[in-house]
A = this chain, B = another copy of it.
């Protein structure tokens, strides 16, 4: 396939990674190669951990030459950083349609958790990678959770402004919900899928719906 230029907005892994790594592909073919390297990196880091993972292990899994790796990433550290941002974006994009289609704010959180559990069951390596970023790249770890919590806070605030939730929902609730999702994902996504994802999400959402309801007084 002939290489062709793709719009600037689509070439970067995402805004943060592009700013951090600065090696955005200039062609659609390049974008696919970069994507294949990131998918291979998720397997390599997920199975072997950062220290035992190698660039040659990544290129072997991706079926690309070592030179292609260095076209897009400077180092093992750089591809790991890009991968954390990439996985963070993947989760966001995976759950977004369910949240948008929901009938209200709490139903959106239910759909978001159900989508997240589904994603985790198919991508168990995400836990090891995000968790290991606390040690390998603390800035990425912090950015991942700060960004996720802020997204939840904005959704809660919007729902409160629509009159669906108590007016004082805020950052503490957002962090509580994120933590709930992360640990339900660990228990019912990574460790064991002994309950349907929809049941887990419905139970958590029922607690939130009553817990964050508009105050009667």
A residues bordering B, Cβ < 8 Å? Answer: 49, 51, 128, 131-132, 134-135, 142, 145, 149, 171-173, 175-184, 186-188, 191, 195, 200, 203-204, 206-213
Contacts and interface: CB of A to CB of B under 8 A. Distances in A.
17 contacts: A131-B131, A131-B134, A135-B135, A171-B187, A172-B184, A172-B195, A172-B204, A173-B207, A175-B180, A175-B183, A175-B184, A175-B187, A175-B188, A176-B180, A207-B208, A209-B211, A210-B211
Question: Copies per complex?
Answer: 2
A187 B213 CA distance: 24
Contacts of A132: 135
B172 A183 contact: no
B176 A183 contact: yes
A179 B175 CA distance: 9
A184 B195 contact: no
Given A132-B135, A179-B179, A207 B200 contact: no
Contacts of A182: 179, 182-183
A140 to B, nearest CB: 14
A191 to B, nearest CB: 8
Contacts of A131: 131, 134-135
Nearest to A131: B134
Contacts of A134: 128, 131
Given A178-B183, A179-B183, A179-B184, A203 B173 contact: yes
Given A172-B184, A206-B211, A207-B212, 13 more contacts: A128-B134, A131-B131, A131-B135, A145-B183, A172-B195, A175-B187, A176-B204, A176-B207, A179-B180, A180-B180, A207-B208, A209-B211, A211-B212
Contact of A211 (B145, B171, B188, B211): B211
Given A179-B181, A179-B182, A207-B173, A187 B149 contact: yes
Nearest to A134: B131
A142 B192 CA distance: 12
